[in-house]
Amino acid sequence: MAADLAGRLTFDLQYDGARISDIAIGSSRPYYATRVLQGKTIEQAAAVVPLLFNLCAGAQQVASLQAAEQALGKPACAQVQRLRQALVVAETARELAWRLTKDWLESHNCGTIALLQRWYDKLFKSVLPVLTLAAAEPDEIPDLEEAATQLEQWFESSFGTIATLPQQFCQAQDSSAIGAVILDLEQEFAGIELNPGCAPLPESDPALWLKAFRHSGGTTFVQRPDWQGHCRETSVWTRWIDAPPIVAAAKSGRHPLSLRFMAMVLELSCIPQRLRALCGAGPAPGKPSSMLHPGEGIGIVEAARGRLMHYVKLDQGCVGNYQIVAPTEWNFHPSGSVSAMLKGVEVPLAQVKALVHQTVLAVDPCVGFEINIEVAPHA
């Protein structure tokens, strides 16, 4: 059983009677948990990493294996990489389905999450052979086409036909569960204008992250990552921000919270297609960066909530330095998207907590959180 190393987030707001005048974001996340890996062999460390996490353990394991195999100079073959990617994609489906059914669609009697969990467990079991260091291509290849079809059937029985989603996003009235959530958001937060969030974290050569990991010594960059001195966001939203259905919905006047909800639905609806794309021949293994020092590796995975990065540096064959930067550290940076979206927003006091709560859910933390509001004496 995974250790409870998640921690919590706190959102302390100042309200001046008309607007959110300030917001402080705190975190009790254990940034130094990876110290337990120091001094272990890379094989031992790779076995321990998935035990440290309750959420997105699959993505954590895949990123860890990538980093470890680079450090050893033994990259996995294309088939192994493809199957590991299938696990990350399937885990994204499970995490998004859990978030949507629990926090957004709870009152709409959508499909049972237990059924989806069994689907995920079956796929996870089928890819176990490739979740080891320098894994060989498995003799039996999981049927990703069947897995995609089963997920598609679950989605459509829960949320409706995938092909009609763009129309649901823009219709003024829609009787579906998704349409009902959008209508609720539009009505509850009508007239409340959020600020833009941070710009998306750009795609980049893994070599560009090496300097940050080496320089941080496991502190600053891990706790409060930045891109060239600026806060960035890496999330489902940033993966879909420029997608035609989102752009069309934005032009139709949908509230920013509705747009972020739509992005989650779209991401989940497209996962069967992503699984099918992993069938057949996979891409050639990527070449390790020429900037990597001997015994150094970096693993980067697009996980359910955004980009996840693992960095390892070996010292005489054992782990000398191990760092992890998770999407939550980008997305809930003290000066990140949540702070940018909410600070200065005019909102009635009666709606402040609901607005903050829904905004946090829309950015999607991987941990629990609490909201505290201090109202100015004259308010």
Asked whether residue 311 is domain-assigned, the answer is no
Evaluate whether residue 157 is within a structural domain. yes
Q: Does residue 130 sit within a domain? A: no
How far is it, in rounded angstroms, from Cα 319 to Cα 36?
10
Per-residue pLDDT 10s for the chain (379 aa) are: 344 457 889 999 999 999 999 999 999 887 777 888 889 999 899 888 888 877 788 999 999 999 999 999 999 999 999 999 999 999 999 999 999 888 888 755 555 788 899 999 999 999 999 999 989 988 888 999 999 999 999 888 887 777 777 666 666 666 678 888 899 999 999 999 999 999 999 987 777 788 888 876 556 788 899 988 899 999 999 999 999 999 999 998 999 999 999 999 999 999 999 999 998 765 545 555 567 788 999 999 999 999 999 999 999 889 999 999 999 999 999 999 999 999 999 999 999 999 999 999 999 998 889 999 999 987 6
Give the pLDDT confidence score for residue 1 in this predicted structure: 37
Residues 228 and 198: beta-carbon distance below 8 Å: no
- Specify the pLDDT at position 4: 45
- Confidence at residue 107, expressed as pLDDT on a 0 to 100 scale: 58
**Is residue 192 assigned to a domain?**
yes
**Residue range of the domain that includes 120:** 94-124+141-197+233-285
The whole-angstrom separation of Cα 351 and Cα 163 is 35
- pTM (two decimals): 0.92
Total number of domains constituting the chain: 1
Q: How far apart are CA 208 and CA 256, in angstroms?
A: 32
Q: What is the model's pLDDT at position 3?
A: 44
Q: Is residue 254 part of a domain?
A: yes
Whether 172 maps to a domain, the answer reads yes
Q: What is the 3-state secondary structure (H, E, C) of the chain?
A: CCCCCCCEEEEEEEECCCEEEEEEEEECCCCCHHHHHCCCEHHHHHHHHHHHCCCCHHHHHHHHHHHHHHHHCCCCCHHHHHHHHHHHHHHHHHHHHHHHHHHHCHHHCCCCHHHHHHHHHHHHHHHHHHCCCCCCCCCCCCCHHHHHHHHHHHHHHHHCCHHHHHHHHHCCCCCCHHHHHHHHHHHHCCCCCCCCCCCECCCCCCHHHHHHHHHHCCCHHHHCCCECCECCECCHHHHHCCCHHHHHHHHCCCCHHHHHHHHHHHHHHHHHHHHHHCCCCCCCCCCCCCCCCCCEEEEEEEECCEEEEEEEEEECCEEEEEEEECHHHHHCCCCCHHHHHHCCCECCHHHHHHHHHHHHHHHCCCCEEEEEEEECCCC
* pLDDT of res. 171: 67
> Is 13 part of a structural domain of the chain?
no
In a domain, 276, yes or no: yes
